[in-house]
């Protein structure tokens, strides 16, 4: 969440930053939050005043009793009880106002980075790299949608996946399943030089999803296991972000870089009827996620590095790709600055997002309670702590990369050539036919 202190010290700056997100309701929410925060301060001042008065009365009662003035002492005690009742009323109001403020702050998105491009929707996202490897024209045999090619080759069986689990589940078979697994191992190997591999739990707590920003706003898109108050992880970002929840990290240990291959589960509640054929949109899919904990000054270089890694994967697969920067009106709730890597799929005739790399600032760390202990130039600890900065990004998301390979590498006889960089992972399969 955003720094609550900004509501007192720089409310105009918060308004200006959030106005760039092109959602007028956010300004109303921020102003409401500022009023609640001010009321909390007033309540605290009133409680402090009451406590001071109670202490003073208690001293006077003691003196009166020592002097034998029992009636006056009892009258003051009655006054003290009234003050105590007033404090209890204020304490109850404090709890109510604090809960309302917390709920409001959980829904207010992150402040965009000053250099993030302004815009109202995805139509305003500028291309910052590419297109790379994009052909001027594609032959007819590459204009075939991947689901048609995959069905003909017997490598995608969504009909039976639906029989097993319901609509919008996919099932790769044979060389198609091998290709999906190969992409995951390739994504891990590509980033193993600096990222520690983690096999995180697939079920996570409510607190874990709240820390990353999925809850409460995106509850409808998540799978809940209500009996156990657990959720199917929508992305490995969730458990990776909470590994150090409520811990204080030493700045000499940073950055900490992690990666995980996992299944991701999303209800896609608002996507009925869109991109439901083939592999483009499904309730369960595999991907490799990158994650980093950093100080504020380390974060910009880490963002550049993670974008370069996601771009490198598409370059080595020799797929046509481009990198766009996400404008303020299209930015995710937790995001401070974001880049997407997209590949071109000639059969679908569409640019497909295959990686989203984001710098979250200290937004997630505030929700998760992840702090950093800093040291000065001489290595001496600096008094106090600050919140860590987090970054995350898809190193390789299987479904759309899989689809783009099937379409871009389709041959005129209907077979599909396996990209050379994947050969070591394919059990000697170099051609799917």
Alpha carbons 365 and 359: distance in angstroms, whole number: 12
Is 257 marked as binding a ligand? no
Q: At what angle do helices 146-153 and 398-408 cross, to 10 degrees?
A: 80
CB-CB neighbours of 28 under 10 Å = 10
Distant-in-sequence, close-in-space partners of 74: CB < 8 Å, separation ≥ 6: none
> Coil, strand, or helix at residue 300?
helix
Q: Which residue has the tokens 């504020």?
A: 296
Is 353 marked as binding a ligand? yes
Alpha carbons 359 and 211: distance in angstroms, whole number: 15
Is 392 marked as binding a ligand? yes
Closest CA to 142 of 414, 425, 387: 414
Q: CA 171, 177, 183, 186 torsion: positive or negative?
A: positive
Please answer whether residues 259 and 198 qualify as being in contact, where contact means their C-beta atoms are separated by less than 8 angstroms: yes
Provide the CB-side half-sphere exposure for 392 (13 A, CA). 24
Is 53 marked as binding a ligand? no
Is 268 marked as binding a ligand? yes
Is 202 marked as binding a ligand? no
Alpha carbons 196 and 218: distance in angstroms, whole number: 29
What distance lies between CA 84 and its chain's CA centroid? Answer: 45
Please answer whether residues 412 and 139 qualify as being in contact, where contact means their C-beta atoms are separated by less than 8 angstroms: yes
Q: Which residue has the tokens 């029989």?
A: 163
> Coil, strand, or helix at residue 433?
coil
Is 235 marked as binding a ligand? yes
The tokens of 149 are what? 């090619």
What secondary structure letter does DSSP report for 255?
A: P
Residue 288 β-bridge partners: 261, 396
Is 342 marked as binding a ligand? no
The tokens of 293 are what? 């904990």
> Coil, strand, or helix at residue 292?
strand
CB-CB neighbours of 192 under 10 Å = 11
Binding residues: 235, 266-268, 289, 353-356, 392
Binding residues for ATP: 266-268, 353-356
Binding residues for L-serine: 235, 266, 289, 392
């Amino acid at each position: 969440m955003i720094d609550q202190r900004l509501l007192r010290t720089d409310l105009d700056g918060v308004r200006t930053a959030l106005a760039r997100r092109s959602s007028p309701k956010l300004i109303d929410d921020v102003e409401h939050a500022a009023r609640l925060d001010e009321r909390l301060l007033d309540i605290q001042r009133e409680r402090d005043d009451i406590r001071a008065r109670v202490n003073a009365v208690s001293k006077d009662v003691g003196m009166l009793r020592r002097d034998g003035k029992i009636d006056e002492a009892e009258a003051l005690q009655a006054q003290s009880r009234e003050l105590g009742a007033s404090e209890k009323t204020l304490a109850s109001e404090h709890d109510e106002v604090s809960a309302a403020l917390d709920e409001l702050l959980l829904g207010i998105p992150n402040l965009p980075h000053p250099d993030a491009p302004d815009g109202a929707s995805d139509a305003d996202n500028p291309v910052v790299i590419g297109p790379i490897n994009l052909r001027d024209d594609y032959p007819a045999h590459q204009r075939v949608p991947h689901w048609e090619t995959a069905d003909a080759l017997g490598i995608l069986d969504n009909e039976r996946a639906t029989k097993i689990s319901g609509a919008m589940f996919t099932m790769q078979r044979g060389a198609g399943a091998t290709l999906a697994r190969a992409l995951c191992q390739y994504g891990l190997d590509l980033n193993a030089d600096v990222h520690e591999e983690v096999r995180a739990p697939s079920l996570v707590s409510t607190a874990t999803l709240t820390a990353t920003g999925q809850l409460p706003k995106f509850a409808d898109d998540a799978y809940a296991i209500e009996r156990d108050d657990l959720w199917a992880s929508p992305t490995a970002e969730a458990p990776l972000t909470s590994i150090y929840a409520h811990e204080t990290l030493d700045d000499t240990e940073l950055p900490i870089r992690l990666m995980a291959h996992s299944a991701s589960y999303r209800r896609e509640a608002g996507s009925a009827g869109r991109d439901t054929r083939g592999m483009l949109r499904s309730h369960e899919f595999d991907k490799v996620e990158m994650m980093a904990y950093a100080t504020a000054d380390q974060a910009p270089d880490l963002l550049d590095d993670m974008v370069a890694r996601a771009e490198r994967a598409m370059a080595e697969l020799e797929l046509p790709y481009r990198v766009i920067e996400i404008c303020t009106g299209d930015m995710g709730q937790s995001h401070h600055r974001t880049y997407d890597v997209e590949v071109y799929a000639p059969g679908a005739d569409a640019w497909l997002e295959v990686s989203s790399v984001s710098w979250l600032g200290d937004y997630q760390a505030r929700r998760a309670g992840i702090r950093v202990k800093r040291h000065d130039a001489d290595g001496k600890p600096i008094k106090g702590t600050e919140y860590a900065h987090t970054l995350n990004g898809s190193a390789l998301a299987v479904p759309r990369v899989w689809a783009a390979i099937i379409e871009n590498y389709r041959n005129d006889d209907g077979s599909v050539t396996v990209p050379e960089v994947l050969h070591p992972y394919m059990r000697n399969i170099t051609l799917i036919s």
